[in-house]
Structure 1
Amino acid sequence: MCWNARGAVCTKFKNTVMNLIHNHHVDLLFICEPRISGTKAASVVKSLGFSCSEVVDAVGFSGGLWLLWNENKFKVDIIGTHEQAISACITWPGQTPWVFTAVYAKPCSIKRATLWEYLSFVADCHNMPWLLAGDFNEMLQLEVKLGGGPLRRIKGFKSWFDANDLIDLGFTGQKFTWSNNRVFERLDRAICNMSWMGAFLEANVIHLPRTKSDHCPIKINLQSCFLPSPRLRPFRF
């Protein structure tokens, strides 16, 4: 599960996350924008009940990345961190190892451009199944925005996405993952390369209801979920 929490210091954050973990059986959790760091961040991370974690501290009250997992479920080897991403190799018995990159793209387009450079570097360093998920802060198409001014955040991410032959995993649930109640956009998503898709043909993404944050959590299932009617099949771009 990936969620831009927009702050992790209040009690409501912990209660919301614990409910998400319990209700959706979360084995790997990515939190971005906790906006706390140091001992305060370490204390909150520990309270969430995962045995392992990788933390990229927030700078002041901006950003921050947390990747949390339980070591009795699978093996996670951190292979690289960036102020906007954490990359890890995921392994469990009987499964081909694959790379997961948790993403939080900065709102500033100049800083966001360094993310696409970093992700190109990660792509050049391996030839493995690769899943990326999180808040990309850009869109891939015009239809994923409602309201507001002209769409400006589409060039950098889309160019990188196309150049690396990636696939959008689609979604079920509400169309937009972020809103300020005037503008609605799909900023949070999961994407992968062809070899990851081949290894997880039944993988699907669910946009969960927004709570506390202006971003909704996205849940990635590696196995099929029962879809009761054709109209609920995932949209794939």
Structure 2
Amino acid sequence: MSKKFYWNCRGACDGRLIRNLRLAWRNSCPDFLILAETKSENASLVRRLESLGFDGSAFIPSVGRSGGLCAVWRSEKVNVAVLKLNRQYFHFKCSFVGQPVFLLTAIYAVPVPHLKQELWADLRSLAALIFSPWVVVGDFNDIASMDERIGGSSPNESRMKTFQDRI
């Protein structure tokens, strides 16, 4: 069985990343890993992840200390083609050994309203062209209901309704 892992790591620049990943996986490393909100401006993160046995990668740098996405995979277990990428997402065509082909969109939505609008417009455009199984994972920096939030200020109900309508 293939293993996939998505983690909003909220920063991957410090030296604890590899140690924490090894602890999370114990004896079994995933075949495909996506890290969001890496806050990493350069691909040195990819080199550190390669030390875990990954040999394929895609990287979107953060802008300053905000955002960033990194995907790594084991090419003997999964064939990955990068179809599209931009500041907020990767769009892949994936095929795990012995499994059907599917599309995967991994998202880290920038918490800036006009950039989120661009993301949703892109997703609508992608959706119009997709007739295969499609998986969308990620952090949209929005919530769909009040019970998804703990602490802090009250969520904006209009924003929640907009997110509910989109998903």
Query: For this structure pair, what is the TM-score category when the shorter chain's length is used for normalisation?
Result: 0.7 to 0.9
Q: In 1, Cα distance between the equivalents of 2:73 and 2:54?
A: 5
Summarize the Cα distance change of 1:123–1:40 in structure 2 as closer, same or farther, 3 Å threshold. Answer: same
> Are positions 1:31 and 2:35 aligned together?
yes
Counterpart in the other structure of 2:101: 97
Per the TM alignment, residue 15 of structure 1 is displaced from its structure 2 partner at its CA by 1.0
Counterpart of 2:48 in structure 1: which amino acid? V
Counterpart in the other structure of 2:139: 135
Per the TM alignment, residue 61 of structure 1 is displaced from its structure 2 partner at its CA by 2.0
Tell me the number of residue pairs that the alignment of Structure 1 and Structure 2 aligns. Answer: 161
What SS does the corresponding residue of 1:154 show, helix, strand or coil? helix
1:11-30 → structure 2 map (5 Å cutoff): 11-23=15-27, 25-30=29-34
Counterpart in the other structure of 1:159: 165
Q: CA offsets, 1:131-170, max 9 Å, x none?
A: 1112121112222223332212413322211xxxxxxxxx
Q: Is the 8 A contact 1:53 1:67 kept in 2?
A: yes
Per the TM alignment, residue 122 of structure 1 is displaced from its structure 2 partner at its CA by 1.4
Summarize the Cα distance change of 1:159–1:63 in structure 2 as closer, same or farther, 3 Å threshold. Answer: same
Per the TM alignment, residue 54 of structure 1 is displaced from its structure 2 partner at its CA by 0.6
Q: In 1, Cα distance between the equivalents of 2:18 and 2:116?
A: 29
Q: In 1, Cα distance between the equivalents of 2:85 and 2:11?
A: 21
Counterpart of 2:145 in structure 1: which amino acid? Q
Per the TM alignment, residue 42 of structure 1 is displaced from its structure 2 partner at its CA by 4.0
Q: Is the 8 A contact 2:46 2:70 kept in 1?
A: no
What SS does the corresponding residue of 2:90 show, helix, strand or coil? strand
Structure 1 residue runs of 5 or longer lacking an equivalent are 162-237
Q: Is the 8 A contact 1:90 1:99 kept in 2?
A: yes
Summarize the Cα distance change of 1:47–1:37 in structure 2 as closer, same or farther, 3 Å threshold. Answer: farther
Per the TM alignment, residue 93 of structure 1 is displaced from its structure 2 partner at its CA by 4.6
Per the TM alignment, residue 46 of structure 1 is displaced from its structure 2 partner at its CA by 3.0
Which has the higher mean CA deviation after the structures are superposed, 64-73 or 16-25?
A: 16-25
> Are positions 1:66 and 2:66 aligned together?
no
Per the TM alignment, residue 11 of structure 1 is displaced from its structure 2 partner at its CA by 1.1
> Are positions 1:10 and 2:14 aligned together?
yes
> Are positions 1:55 and 2:59 aligned together?
yes
1:188-227 → structure 2 map (5 Å cutoff): none
What SS does the corresponding residue of 1:37 show, helix, strand or coil? coil
Question: TM-score by structure 1 length?
Answer: 0.62
Summarize the Cα distance change of 1:104–1:4 in structure 2 as closer, same or farther, 3 Å threshold. Answer: same
Summarize the Cα distance change of 1:11–1:93 in structure 2 as closer, same or farther, 3 Å threshold. Answer: closer
Summarize the Cα distance change of 1:139–1:69 in structure 2 as closer, same or farther, 3 Å threshold. Answer: same
What SS does the corresponding residue of 1:34 show, helix, strand or coil? coil
Q: In 2, Cα distance between the equivalents of 1:158 and 1:24?
A: 35
Q: In 1, Cα distance between the equivalents of 2:28 and 2:89?
A: 24
